[in-house]
Copies of this chain bind each other. A is one copy, B any other.
Amino acid sequence: VAKEVAKLLELKAQLGGDEGKHKFVLKTPKGTRDYSPKQMAIRERVFNAIVACFKRHGAEVIDTPVFELKETLTGKYGEDSKLIYDLKDQGGELLSLRYDLTVPFARYLAMNKITNIKRYHIAKVYRRDNPAMTRGRYREFYQCDFDIAGQFDPMIPDAECLKIVHEILSDLQLGDFLVKVNDRRILDGMFAVCGVPDSKFRTICSSVDKLDKMPWEEVRSEMVGEKGLSPEAADRIGEYVQLHGGLDLIERLLQDPKLSQNKLAKEGLGDMKLLFEYLTLFGITGKISFDLSLARGLDYYTGVIFEAVLLQQENAHVEESVSVGSVAGGGRYDGLVGMFDPKGRKVPCVGVSIGIERIFSILEQRVEASEEKIRTTETQVLVASAQKKLLEERLKLVSELWDAGIKAEVLYKKNPKLLNQLQYCEETGIPLVAIVGEQELKDGVVKLRVVATREEVNVGRESLVEEIRMRTSRP
């Protein structure tokens, strides 16, 4: 026994010795995950709905590398820059993983001197953030971006971006939602008339951005305590940021004795009014709220900003287990392309980014709850045999079907049992079985079995492809 124990201890030391220093960890990196076939099936549904919408609006598609020169990303994200993943210096260029798709898009436009494009881009981005994976917050996650670049008449592309958010969130049936809209110029004008010094605009804007997560009192004490704003200025801001509404509020603020005197605020409010007129034509103002507390974190916005939030889950059970934040956001960034152009030439841009991971979390939980069975393959028919020694015949038939464009499988066994073959169809949702046997081969037919009904018919070999197509075409 002592000898056995010694042996085991030695083995243990080999496996987990040195306080696990050499222990091999079988996992994906922190904040990332694999997608299983079932998850991919759900993900593809979501992507299909989003791509269909982007294409409906006439967008082209581009792709950019997963990493950029480090300097391309420098100075674009403000405080968030610390979350950028850098690559190791292995000799050569200094590289970073992309943090969003907007900065690479602006780099692409400047590099190729493109002044006019409507494009979408669906790809993964990387942020060394604190992951909260149950709420759909990852370090590697997809963004689905749609942007319109070019010099156009005011607010028409901006309105289309909001229409797109509305279409996608409606299509995906995620429950009730609200799109909050504001304008950086209105915010800056508001800060000015409230007595915020110019130098504090961006940092006070960051504080306002926290209003969706903390109460006004806390935001106010951050402004006054940490950021040194006068209590009077903070209180004036407090009055504005609780306002939200529609055209009526815009009209009221256009008459506001202080705001209407500020050039930026006036411009922003004028454009906001125009935006709401277009949104009225699109019939979507019911879910849009002009909200003075919306600030958005990123530095590069220059005009309209917006963010879509889900209001509540249809299903009370789901609501408890997933708490989702914003599912889409975007805005106008007229200065970003100019930051890349050697001559500083500007290309006005407006765009929207759909946050797919949160949407995916909701849909995944919904599928789990509903016990809906999701197929992970599209196989139309399994080529099977009832007797032994028919592997060659099965391979010949499945090959014929593949060549005819039929989605078909065989089991990779020389002599599988018919029961196992039928079970495989039940498990994977294959609707038809094409059974070859001695008699069928002699008669030049194949026995076609409908898995759901167990109905069987003999089909002439020459009409098998047509029969399978007919029986598996979607209604």
Q: Which residues of A contact B (CB under 8 A)?
A: 24-30, 32-37, 40, 43-44, 55-69, 71, 85-90, 92-93, 95, 97, 107-108, 110-112, 117, 119, 124, 126, 128, 140, 148, 150, 152-153, 156-157, 159-160, 163, 167, 278, 281-283, 340, 342, 376-379, 391-392, 395-396, 399, 402-403, 405-410, 412-414
Contact = CB atoms under 8 A, between A and B. Distances in A.
Contacts of A152: 412-413
Given A57-B402, A92-B128, 19 more contacts: A26-B107, A28-B111, A30-B92, A34-B63, A34-B65, A37-B119, A40-B61, A44-B61, A55-B378, A57-B408, A58-B379, A58-B408, A60-B376, A66-B126, A86-B88, A153-B412, A153-B414, A156-B412, A278-B395
A87 B90 contact: no
Contacts of A68: 28-29
A34 B62 contact: yes
B30 A93 contact: yes
A271 B54 CA distance: 50
A62 B379 CA distance: 17
| 8 tightest Cβ-Cβ pairs between the two chains A and B | A37-B60, A152-B412, A32-B65, A58-B409, A35-B63, A86-B88, A156-B412, A58-B379
15 contacts: A24-B342, A25-B69, A25-B71, A26-B111, A28-B65, A40-B60, A40-B63, A43-B63, A55-B377, A56-B408, A58-B407, A61-B376, A66-B66, A66-B140, A282-B399
A157 B409 CA distance: 11
Q: How many identical chains are in the complex? A: 2
A90 B85 contact: yes
A444 B424 CA distance: 57
Given A55-B377, A110-B26, A412-B157, A167 B402 contact: yes
Contacts of A128: 90, 92
A86 B148 CA distance: 35
A318 to B, nearest CB: 24
A57 B380 CA distance: 10
A340 B163 CA distance: 48
A153 B395 CA distance: 13
A124 B20 CA distance: 33
B27 A69 contact: yes
Contact of A37 (B62, B71, B378, B406): B62
A128 B90 CA distance: 9
Contacts of A160: 412
Contacts of A88: 85-89
